[in-house]
Amino acid sequence: MASYQTPRGTQDILPSDSRKWLEVEELIRSVCYYYGYDEIRTPVFEDTKVFKRENDSSDMVNKEMYTFSINNEDSLTLRPEGTAGVIRSFVQHKMYGIMEMPAKLYYMGEMFRYERPQKGRYRQFNQFGIENIGVKSPLVDAEVIALGYSILKALGLSQIKVVLNTLGDDESRANYRAKLKEHFAPCLDELCADCKRRYEQNPLRLLDCKVDKDHPSMMSAPKMEDSLNEESKAYFNEVLKALDALEIPYEIDDRLVRGLDYYTHTVFEVVSTHPESGSQATVFAGGRYDGLVEYFGGPQMSGVGFAMGMERLMILAEAEGIALGQREGIDVYVMGLGNVGTVPLEIATACRANGFVSEFNITPRGLKAQFKSVDRKQAKFAVIVGETELEQHMCNVKHIASQKQVSCDIDDVVDTIELLMKEGE
RNA sequence: GCGGUCGUGGUGAAGUUGGUUAACACACUAGAUUGUGGCUCUAGCAUUCGCGAGUUCGAGUCUCGUCGAUCGCCCCA
């Protein structure tokens, strides 16, 4: 083991993997393009206040942030999520005044959370996410889910499931929260420590407790549905109708509440049903937020978005056996025998200039070893430069598939390759 | 933050109740084939078992610590 290694919860993405990442990233950007989303790039760190908002009960904000301050300047924090920075930027640059609403933005980049690492959960990880800001419509909610869903489909993922719920508007949620507290108050002592904490901080989260899920009070707990006002109910129904129209299968889970405190109305989670995804099965998740833009000092505007865990996406693609980032063979491998100086490099350079992916032999070694490189790199052509031929300014060009070899002037290598290609067809 | 499992070469891994030479396979390098590969054969390839300390005549094998990975909880993408 090397004495230096990546810090806990971080990882190097090596060339064989970075090719996979690149392919997935390109696919995502392409889907965004078709949906009319443009990229926004915000800083990796922000003023701590951007993330740490009043009344926020989530662990992410309270216990998991990398926060630092240098020279007694204002406290800064490595972004633990993407939405806050995007909304801050939206307001700072008054996007609501300079572009047509809704603003359709996407981001892709690293996030940081101080947590105990696990498969699919890292301290530095990558998220792709979108934010649709400025128009509150069930159609937009459905479209946002559709965008994420179509990325997974385009990738070839099949074992996934869309789960959604509604938290209703402020009035409905306040109403529900009160009902829940009233319901659980009598039996609070029987519930686990986490539940007691949730009771105080975020009663909605009581519902997805795994310890007490069979407690009688859970079964008889009031349903969100019954606390929704007409408007919230109608809104959610429209979202479902739109999803039906798009033929996106979904499940409604009335216990889905999500961790971030800013969500209102529609919340959703897309999870993997693949056995290998373990406890970190959520691929992307998000929801609508009504108060965020205003919180950051903008107009009263609603938004909706989601974040997708890139590492999790890669893990699932791998688990489902999707081939990603395949490297194709190169076109030309130039070998050199004896003292041939810069000639192989010159030939490779000329080939590259003519559109052939080319490499050349660098260290002196036998033909056998060089042909092994040809095989490994799956080169279509081998160019052999030897001292003897070099005296006549000549070299050999070999078409690997047909084994056909011709000799030609060093300046005619490109023409010779093109000729052999035509013959090969 | 809590609990469990694991950590041997470039890779996959064997290593019996602690016994001194760390198996096997793949990959890699060289040669047989002194300028034409993918097959075959031969040879080479971990002074060392994540790191540190301890127990012992002796530790990859036991103990403790530490770092990392992993599983579950918490949380969440």
Question: How far is residue A422's CA from residue A417's CA, in Å, rounded to a whole number?
Answer: 9
Question: How far is residue A110's CA from residue A128's CA, in Å, rounded to a whole number?
Answer: 9
Helices (H), A246-325: 292-295, 310-319
| A141: CB partners within 8 A, 6+ apart | A239, A242, A265, A266, A288, A304
Predicted pLDDT of residue A16? 83
Q: Is the dihedral of CA A366, A371, A372, A377 positive or negative?
A: positive
Nucleotides of chain B within 7 Å of a protein C-beta? Answer: 1-3, 9, 28-31, 33-38, 50-51, 67-77
DSSP type of residue A100:
P
Q: What is the pLDDT of residues A327-365, one digit of tens each?
A: 888 999 999 998 899 999 999 999 999 999 999 998 888
Q: What is the pLDDT of residues A99-109, one digit of tens each?
A: 999 999 999 99
Q: What is the pLDDT of residues A220-262, one digit of tens each?
A: 788 888 889 999 999 999 999 999 999 999 999 888 877 667 8
**Burial classification of residue A140, based on how many CB atoms lie within 10 Å of its CB (0-12 exposed, 13-18 middle, 19 or more buried):** buried
Could you check: is the Cβ of residue A253 within 7 Å of any atom of nucleic acid strand B?
Answer: no
- On the question of pLDDT at A2 being above 60, the answer is no
Model ipTM?
0.86
The larger pLDDT score, comparing residue A114 to residue A256, is at: A114
Amino acid at A38: D
**What architecture does CATH give domain A332-424?**
3-Layer(aba) Sandwich (3.40)
User: Domain A15-169+229-319's class?
Assistant: alpha beta
The larger pLDDT score, comparing residue A255 to residue A78, is at: A78
Q: How confident is the model at residue A1 (pLDDT cuts 50, 70, 90)?
A: very low
Which residue, A305, A232, A230, A299, is CA-closest to A265?
A: A232
Could you check: is the Cβ of residue A80 within 7 Å of any atom of nucleic acid strand B?
Answer: no
Average pLDDT value for residue range A278-288: 89
CA of residue A5 to C1' of nucleotide B70, angstroms: 18
CA of residue A405 to C1' of nucleotide B41, angstroms: 29
* A 290-349 residues, CB < 7 A, strand B: 307-309, 311-312, 337-338
- Report the run of H or E that residue A238 belongs to, with start and end: helix A230-245
Which residue, A334, A337, A385, is CA-closest to A356?
A: A334
The larger pLDDT score, comparing residue A103 to residue A4, is at: A103
Question: How far is residue A204's CA from residue A303's CA, in Å, rounded to a whole number?
Answer: 21
Predicted pLDDT of residue A201? 72
Please list the residue range(s) of chain A that carry CATH number 3.30.930.10.
15-169+229-319
Q: Are A223 and A166 in contact, with CB atoms under 8 Å apart?
A: no
Please list the residue range(s) of chain A that carry CATH number 3.40.50.800.
332-424
Helical pair A310-319 and A138-155, crossing angle rounded to 10 deg = 50
